[in-house]
Amino acid sequence: MNIFETYRRLTPASEALHRRATDLFPGGVSHNLRGYSPHPIYPRTASGARFTDVDGRTYLDLWMGHYALILGHAAPEVKRAVADALEAGWHWGMPGEAQVALAEALRAAVPGLEEMRFCSTGTEATMYAVRLARGFTGKPWVLKAAGGWHGASTDLSFAVKPPFAGAEGPGLLTASEQGVDPLAFNDVEASLRVVEAHRGRIAGIIVEPMIGAGGFLPAKPEFLRFLREVCDDEGAVLIFDEIITGFRFRCGTLADEMGVTPDLTTLGKIAGGGLSLGVYGGRREIMETANPLAARGPGRPVLVGGGTFSCNPVSMAAALATLEALEERGEAFYGELARRGERLRRGVEERFSAAGIPVECTGKGSLFMTHLLREGARGLESPADIAAKTRGEIKDRELRIALANRGVFAVHGGGALSEAHGDAEVEAILDAYEGAAGDLMRELA
């Protein structure tokens, strides 16, 4: 019995639900990452580091709600805050005290957020940040890192997957019509050529200080300094997308650790406590261009929104409870997560190597991603490296299924640790990876 046959045998209720779903949703899902063959797992309950699916099987979770749940599933502090908020009503469509308290907490943790706006998703946050850059500068072009994923907005759905050129699908304008061009991540020389092609027309540059879906690759400090210098020279807006990295490695942003200050920052995931929240903010003079009460002038105010459900009191309560918990836990909390993450990255590499499969685990702190290397390849520094040097299709196909069969749920070959992933959980995950390596050797022979 191969790994896919085993998977079907273990997940018949999920398979039945997915048959119903495919009649209702394109591909059976409402988010592309959640759809995979032969069918996705359907959870029923989740707590701590684990979830239980509709077939009654329990998994150690590395996906953790798109990396949002740093305190674990159903964290007690957040659960209490959400329950209390529900008692007061879960949707007002008006400002609330918790909205103000959350913004104050975010600015205390990220001083560069002089002003901010809340919306409901990270996609909205990056979309509005780019719009602010164009509105503030009056210039048309936005540069982004090739391989960088900033959500499925029309502005930024370009050069996300190999070969990192053009729109990511039909229904979008061409890159030149949209005014977006990709930079080579971590390659100053190649990126400078793109900058030179757009001198005088650059509204902003958006980049993740550690690229996420593109491979969990930290930006080199000299690359970020180069982007800062370009924006200063051009009068452009430097935007850091910290939706994954914000509050993941410290009670604040990765930018603070790297010593490069952006003009705008986007946040989400952990900052929302596992509920719907997107944040975009930064320099007051940029954010004020969207002030609907300011004196109107040519091109003012910049039209930004939040959505019907922005700042709903339940999301505000979950986010505030999470930030308060992280501040209370302090540096020791992040240090312990980083220790376990390093143990996991090195352990996966060692166990796969022992099985005869060369891999490289990228990441930082509590994040990791496993890449199956092509023969003779090593040294991953950019999404282009990953495309050229790894067997990416295997980690999202065979490896995902082999791990699920052994009780670990992973996306892109890895994921995120939470407070609930203790040493025992890390060891169990490593055992599952070791078993999955053996399964892959048989599957791919």
Q: Which pLDDT tens digit goes with each residue over 202-258?
A: 999 999 999 999 999 999 999 999 999 999 999 999 999 999 999 999 999 999 999
Is residue 230 located within the same domain as residue 361? no
What H or E segment, with its residue span, contains residue 52?
strand 50-53
Is residue 97 located within the same domain as residue 69? no
How large a percentage of the chain has pLDDT more than 90?
A: 93
Q: Is residue 82 part of a domain?
A: no
Given strand 367-372, what is the order of strands in its sheet? 359-364, 367-372, 415-416
Is residue 63 located within the same domain as residue 115? no
Is residue 277 located within the same domain as residue 154? yes
pLDDT of 135 higher than 90: yes
Is residue 263 located within the same domain as residue 171? yes
Residue pair 161/392 in contact (Cβ under 8 Å)? The answer is: no
Is residue 158 located within the same domain as residue 48? no
Across residues 286-291, what is the average pLDDT?
Answer: 95
Q: Is residue 283 part of a domain?
A: yes
Is residue 345 located within the same domain as residue 287? no
Report in angstroms the alpha-carbon separations of 242 from 103, 122, 165, 210. 16, 10, 23, 8
Q: Is residue 43 part of a domain?
A: yes
Tell me which residue range forms the domain holding 201: 92-311
Domain final position from 283, 311, 339: 311
pLDDT at 358: 95
Q: Is residue 411 part of a domain?
A: yes
Q: Is residue 139 part of a domain?
A: yes
Across residues 78-104, what is the average pLDDT?
Answer: 97
Separation between Cα atoms, residue 288 and residue 132, nearest integer Å: 10
Nearest Cα residue to 241 out of 219, 265, 221: 265
pLDDT of 300 higher than 80: no
How large a percentage of the chain has pLDDT more than 70?
A: 99
Is residue 44 located within the same domain as residue 182? no
Domain final position from 311, 339, 365: 311
Report in angstroms the alpha-carbon separations of 118 from 89, 125, 206, 244. 19, 8, 19, 16
Q: What is the pTM of this model?
A: 0.96
Residue pair 284/107 in contact (Cβ under 8 Å)? The answer is: no
Q: Is residue 305 part of a domain?
A: yes
Q: Is residue 202 part of a domain?
A: yes
The distance from CA 188 to its chain's CA centroid, rounded to whole angstroms, is 24
pLDDT at 420: 98
Is residue 130 located within the same domain as residue 24? no
Domain final position from 311, 343, 375: 311
Is residue 124 located within the same domain as residue 162? yes
Separation between Cα atoms, residue 421 and residue 141, nearest integer Å: 43
Number of structural domains the chain divides into: 2
Kindly report the CATH number assigned to the domain that includes residue 384: 3.90.1150.10
Burial track 190-206 (b if 16+ CB lie within 10 A, e otherwise): ebeebbeebeeebbbbb
Is residue 144 located within the same domain as residue 57? no
Kindly report the CATH number assigned to the domain that includes residue 172: 3.40.640.10
Q: Is residue 318 part of a domain?
A: no
Is residue 153 located within the same domain as residue 284? yes
